[in-house]
Copies of this chain bind each other. A is one copy, B any other.
Amino acid sequence: MTQDRLSQTFSALADPTRRALLARLSQGEANVSDLAKPFLKEMSLPAVTKHLKVLERAGLITKSRDAQWRPCKLNGEPLKDAVDWMEHYRVFWEQSLDRLGEYLKGKGHGRKR
């Protein structure tokens, strides 16, 4: 199925290998074999290539060419829409922290000691 943009972003992020690749790329450009190195005990090079392709199709990275190397660069823009979507729900994770905060501040008016 041709997924909508947001689904594509979220499903690209739904894999720890791919998140680790993005984390590595947040420190700077790197080519495929550099990126693959930390994973070659766990999986093959073509497996990493496939993960990179998923990230590329999601627009989260772009590959350029330098001789036989393919330097990859992180592109954060798709994350903006994802975060924007999630921000609508901020109240749903902050409300529980509020309750915790009020409890800790002793606003319970003597309830629970």
A residues bordering B, Cβ < 8 Å?
A: 3-4, 6-8, 10-11, 13-16, 19, 22-23, 26, 74-77, 79-80, 82-83, 85-96
Number of copies of this protein chain within its complex: 2
Q: By the criterion CB–CB under 8 Å, are A22 and B76 in contact?
A: no
Q: A85 to chain B: which residues have CB within 8 Å?
A: 19
Residue of B nearest to A4 (CB): B16
Known pairs A4-B16, A8-B14, A74-B92; list 13 more (Cβ under 8 Å): A6-B19, A7-B14, A7-B15, A10-B10, A10-B13, A14-B14, A26-B88, A26-B92, A77-B93, A79-B90, A79-B92, A82-B86, A83-B87
Least distance between A85 CB and chain B CB atoms (Å)? 7
CA distance A75 to B91 in the complex (A): 10
